[in-house]
Structure 1
């Protein structure tokens, strides 16, 4: 890179010899500096990393928005000090969970081969059962918010509940 330290007629600072008095000269010097192979590769690599990070943050934004509407677990029959006596139709015991947010909630009964529940307050909506890797299933509730998901619950799962009142998410549970 050459520095034009003349009398200052071309925009050069007489004390430093740098000709960056305007953007055109600065751009020319930056282009000349980037033409050097190793520096160019570092700049391109840094830009690619920044763009990947930005795309990742945008992709995670949906999950972040949902986590802001996280429902709290307010009841779990497996932690009840007394046996609840709740049984499913096959005679095996089930687990009852109640999740509550500000004005939204969901109650579920987890059985050996299904999850069944209702949105609180009762209203139609859509339920998605998610694992950490993917959406397991999505279905519409009936008019009062009742749903049944025929699936063998295992591993960490959560419910995403959509209705006219908004979207809410249960915490991850090892069902």
Structure 2
């Protein structure tokens, strides 16, 4: 560490602060002064309250969610081979996959249909950034249908006996 000082004052401070014991003594002496002590104590209390608030908020989150990755989007490959459009209109096919869980979704102009992979019963929640839009139970093989006009960023939260997984946010 080099100090660029013409009078040598900074050099002596740096030398004293290199000694941890001396630095600790100077910090104790500085904290003993009233106004600084009150500011440090106030900051510590604020930090403690913020930390407690974050811990409380964290309890409300399900941190065990498995984020599913988008592995197929028909918008990226507009002419899928061998796929028939049952709706008669434009639809978007999406496939999300995790390590052992997944969901396949077809998004139409007024409906979102899909199935949990591997097939199993479960619960699907459609979420916007502000709130849960709707929640429904799938059938025994994981099929679901949500009659809604998809708009804005949405994601699916899928619950089953295997756990909970969530898709990426998508601008449907």
**CA–CA separation in structure 1 for the residues paired with 2:80 and 2:102:** 24
For structure 2, list consecutive stretches of 5 or more residues without a partner in the other structure: 1-31
**CA–CA separation in structure 1 for the residues paired with 2:84 and 2:122:** 26
TM-score by length of structure 2 reads 0.69
3-state SS of paired residue (1:117)? strand
**CA–CA separation in structure 2 for the residues paired with 1:154 and 1:57:** 33
Are 1:136 and 2:133 matched, yes or no?
yes
Q: Check conservation: 1:99, 1:170, Cα contact below 8 A.
A: yes
C-alpha distance after superposition, 1:22-76 (max 9, x if no partner) = xxxxxxxxxxx8xx7885576346424432343234424625432xx11111111
Q: Check conservation: 1:86, 1:94, Cα contact below 8 A.
A: no
Are 1:65 and 2:64 matched, yes or no?
yes
1:50 corresponds to which of 41, 48, 51: 48
**CA–CA separation in structure 1 for the residues paired with 2:64 and 2:124:** 17
**CA–CA separation in structure 2 for the residues paired with 1:52 and 1:86:** 54
Q: Check conservation: 2:64, 2:164, Cα contact below 8 A.
A: no
2:93 is matched with 96
CA pair 133-63 structure 1, distance change in 2 beyond 3 A: farther
1:146-157 counterparts in 2 under 5 A? Answer: 146-157=143-154
Which of the pair has more CA radius of gyration? 1
Residue 155 of structure 1: how far off its partner (Å): 1.3
1:116 is matched with 113
**CA–CA separation in structure 2 for the residues paired with 1:53 and 1:151:** 39
**CA–CA separation in structure 2 for the residues paired with 1:86 and 1:108:** 14
CA pair 83-145 structure 1, distance change in 2 beyond 3 A: closer
TM-score by length of structure 1 reads 0.68
CA RMSD of aligned residues (A): 2.6
Q: Check conservation: 1:70, 1:169, Cα contact below 8 A.
A: yes
**CA–CA separation in structure 1 for the residues paired with 2:68 and 2:148:** 22
For structure 1, list consecutive stretches of 5 or more residues without a partner in the other structure: 1-32
